[in-house]
Amino acid sequence: MSLRIFVEGNDDKNFIVKLLNDLKKYNQIDVLDNINFNNYITIMGSKSKLLDSSHEKYQRISRKIGFEVLEVLFIFDCDFEVDDKNCNGMKKSLECFDNLKKELNWTIPMDVHIFDKNLDYFLVETINKKECYEHFDKLIECLDVEKLKPNKKPIANLYRDLYPYPQFYFKDDRFQPLKDKLIDLFKGIEK
């Protein structure tokens, strides 16, 4: 029996794969040695597509719901209300997710993890030795360039540029809620 994780984009997928590999490394999930976590993650393209129950990727996976796929997890950003009053912000994001659940009408457990603000902000908060980057953050603030891409943390971009394969500090407590959901999700996986 299997599971699926739905994410917004490629960065989210890469991050989840890294986190899952970390859980596997520390035996927090019991999976096959040669498991390819990519198999379990579907990129929807954007938050609006992820919350759109008529998306053709949901049609495709619907055929397997209850047959192969017995549990699903949706992971997305809550983003900023200023950009979208309908589905942004934690409260509205949850409402939109509840609506998605209702419309999909899948009769299997469906869980969700929503990042406060977005993945970039979350990752920056959890970078090990964050104090080393704080000077850069002050510089960015002084130059007032954050308004160019208000949803993207420049420090997160810098971190990714410096480390194309970033090593996030998964020991940070703030990862625990998502870890718990992933551990729970992979409990039912067929080996």
Partner 1 sequence: MSEHFIKNIEIKNFKCFEDFKAEGFGRVNLIGGKNNVGKTAFMEAVGINVHSTNILTLFSSLMAIYFERNKLEFIEKGYSVDDLKSLFESRQTYFSKSNINEVHYKLYNKDGKKEYIFNINNKEIAINSNDFSYEVEYISNIEYISNLGFNNSSLQKNYITVQRIDKEYILNKYINEFDNSIEKFKIFDGSPECKLKNSNSYIKINEFGDGLKHYISIICSLYACENGYLFIDEIDNGIHYTQLDRLWEIILTISKQQNVQVFATTHSKECIESYARVAKKLEDNEIIFIELCKREEEIKAFVYPYDWFIDEIEQEHEVRGCL
Binding site for partner 1 (CB under 8 A): 2, 36, 38-43, 56-57, 60, 63-64, 67-68, 189-190
* Spatial distance between the Cα atoms of 88 and 155, rounded to a whole number of angstroms: 23
Strands annotated E in 50-159:
69-77, 110-115
Is 64 or 138 the residue whose CB approaches partner 1 more closely?
64
Question: Minimum distance between the CB of residue 42 and partner 1, rounded to whole angstroms?
Answer: 7
Cβ-based nearer residue to partner 1, 57 or 160: 57
- In the bound complex, what is the minimum distance in angstroms from residue 63's beta carbon to partner 1? 6
124 vs 185 by CB, closer to partner 1: 185
Nearest approach in angstroms of CB 187 to partner 1 is 15
b/e per residue 161-184 (b: at least 16 CB within 10 A): eeeeebebebeeeebeebbebbee
Would strands 110-115 and 2-7 be described as parallel, antiparallel, or unpaired? unpaired
Nearer to partner 1, 23 or 155 (CB): 23
- The CB-of-39 to partner 1 minimum distance in angstroms stands at 4
In this structure, what are the phi and psi dihedrals at residue 157, rounded to the nearest 5 degrees? Answer: -65, -40
